[in-house]
Amino acid sequence: MRPDAEARAARLNDRYRHHAAMAVLSHALTDPEVGPLALVSSFGTESVVLLHMVAVLDRRLPVLFLDTGMLFADTLAYQLEVTERLRLEDVRVIRPDRAALLERDADGLLHQAQPDACCVLRKVEPLARALKGFDGWITGRKRFQGGARAALEFFEADGEGRIKVNPLAHWRPEDVAEYMAENRLPRHPLAARGYRSVGCVPCTTRTAPGEGVRAGRWRGLDKTECGIHLVDGRVVRGMPA
């Protein structure tokens, strides 16, 4: 990782503040201030937009897919379909450490008692390992998703060393729908069944009309993020190195 992520993110935002999403992504892949990047994708209900943009610019870009072991079968099938359709050349399936699972969640019920700890075990720690060697990562987060995402910038400091890139930060729901329609991109199978945001099976429910995009995630809990955008339990501009 390179130092001074805050300063580099500020310079990048000044440089590309008025650019469109595709231009921001293109510059992120080539600007020496950013460095080597990976796209982190959940292959969720809106993920195909950013995956398609990456396929247009560079199919060889590493794509990190977190398979927690608790994903919907539909998501796993969709990941394979999209990877093949877009001809992505370097999709890396990232899984939790087997020994850690046996030690800390042998019965697979950690999510019931300690949902944050479950996310750390199944998402945060595997992603931290997978990101070693990269100077930054690309996310599909958007301001309209609300909560801590409402003030997203294109570039953020990820801890002290990495840069986080959010090319779709300023997009609206209609922008997502229009892009998918124009490019005839396949939809996640669960989208037609009322799921607007999809994570692990035990922690995802359908979203009712009028609810926020992520209202179906961890319903009934004081929890809005899986943890990869948290450090020490706080929402920050990044995640642990």
Domain at 46, CATH number? 3.40.50.620
- For tokens 């992120």, what's the residue? 28
- Beta-carbon contacts of 14 under 8 Å, excluding residues fewer than 6 positions away, are none
Residue 240 lies in a domain: no
Backbone angles phi, psi at 117, to 5 degrees: -65, -35
Q: Which domain covers residue 132, as residue numbers?
A: 5-235
Contact between residue 222 and residue 121 where contact means Cβ atoms under 8 Å apart:
no
Beta bridge partners of 39: 63, 138
Contact between residue 223 and residue 115 where contact means Cβ atoms under 8 Å apart:
yes
Residues 205 and 214: their CA atoms lie apart, in Å, by 10
Give the pLDDT of residue 238: 34
* Residue of 231, 207, 44 lying closest to 141 (CA atoms): 44
Residue 209 lies in a domain: yes
Does the pLDDT of residue 51 top 90, yes or no? yes
pLDDT mean over 28-34: 94
Give the pLDDT of residue 90: 98
Active site (annotated) includes residue 119: no
Backbone angles phi, psi at 38, to 5 degrees: -130, 150
How many domains would you assign to the chain?
1
Residue 78 lies in a domain: yes
Q: What's the pTM value of the predicted model, to 2 decimals?
A: 0.88
Q: Which member of 118, 119, 200, 226 is catalytic? A: 226
Give the pLDDT of residue 240: 33
10 Å Cβ neighbour count for 14?
9
Residue 127 lies in a domain: yes
Residue 126 lies in a domain: yes
- Beta-carbon contacts of 75 under 8 Å, excluding residues fewer than 6 positions away, are 42, 43, 44, 188, 190, 198
Residue 241 lies in a domain: no
pLDDT digits (tens, 9 = 90+) for 10-27: 999 999 999 999 999 999
Give the pLDDT of residue 235: 37
